[in-house]
Amino acid sequence: MKILVTGGAGFIASNLVDAYIADGHQVAVIDNLVSGKRANLNPNADFYYMEIGDPRVEEIFRQFSPDIVNHHAAQIDVRKSVEDPVFDAQTNILDSIFLLNYSQRYGVKKFIFSSTGGALYGEPEYLPCDETHPIKPLAAYGLSKYCFENYLLLFNRLYNLPYVILRYANVYGPRQDPHGEAGVVAIFTGKLLKGETPMIFGQGEQSRDFVFVEDICRANRMAISAKENLIVNLGTGLEISVNTLLQKIQKIMGTDITPQYLPERPGEVSRIYLDSSKAKKLLSWEPSFTMEEGLTKTVEYFKNPALAAK
């Protein structure tokens, strides 16, 4: 199949592009390289350096004629979305709608969207959160993702555009940016490799559901053959505190550096983990990597200077 992947030079989607190409698909990538990196790009993918809101994107749809659009390009920083909700909405809603217009115009067979489970439900009314949990995001990031979900459902109603919406837990793994604002696993690992003090905002008892990037890629591969429209959570169903996460990484790395605790930051939930039983039932997906296995692979990646410098 021909698959157009937006954000394909970024952390998750570049791993996904590799997987799609290994499966024998023809892949084109759109990325503005703001957070993505050229070094992440698979040389067998066609690359277009531009914003998803660029009018030239329509020409890519016309010439490449994708069967599948997999939309990962996004403003992903929760804290930035709190500080600048207009910028967040521009990328995650307005620019993204262009992709829907082109998809229905040029006969795309399925639209796969990377949404969020970690930021969508807000402070949970019950745990683990399933897909029917009330939507009460605490930051513009979660709200913008949910808004686009509804545009996608609208395009299905109006134009019969098939879709799969994947609500991710906290994804980690190789190629995650250790210098950014998001991605605590990569940030902790980068700090510890340099012998620097890791920083924890709040008391460190806030908990997350951490899922390895290879498991997320497998779900995106399986989404191609889904026979119905789906909205599913993708997580491990395990609750791990930030303090415990740091302890696990330190154990793997053989370090013992006391973290620095800083004030809490707005827009982040205190506890969240996901019920992914629907993905297991309808997509035949469940995570295959344990936390220790995923962290070990991630640490080994960042220990390799040639890879971590990319």
Distance of CA 108 to the CA centre of its chain: 22
SS3 string, 127-187, reads CCECCCCCCCCCCHHHHHHHHHHHHHHHHHHHHCCCEEEEEECEEECCCCCCCCCCCHHHH
Cβ of 161: how many Cβ atoms within 10 Å? 21
Q: Which listed residue (48, 141, 172, 273) is catalytic? A: 141
Q: How far is CA 53 from CA 73, 149, 158, in A?
A: 11, 18, 22
Phi, psi at 119, each rounded to 5°? -115, 0
Quote the crossing angle between the two packed helices 11-22 and 213-223, to the nearest 10°. 50
- Is residue 305 a contact partner of residue 299, using CB atoms and an 8 Å limit? no
| Distance between CA atoms of residues 268 and 8, nearest Å | 26
| Distance between CA atoms of residues 123 and 155, nearest Å | 30
| Distance between CA atoms of residues 14 and 10, nearest Å | 5
Cβ of 256: how many Cβ atoms within 10 Å? 9
Whether 141 sits among the annotated catalytic residues: the reply is yes
Residues designated catalytic: 141
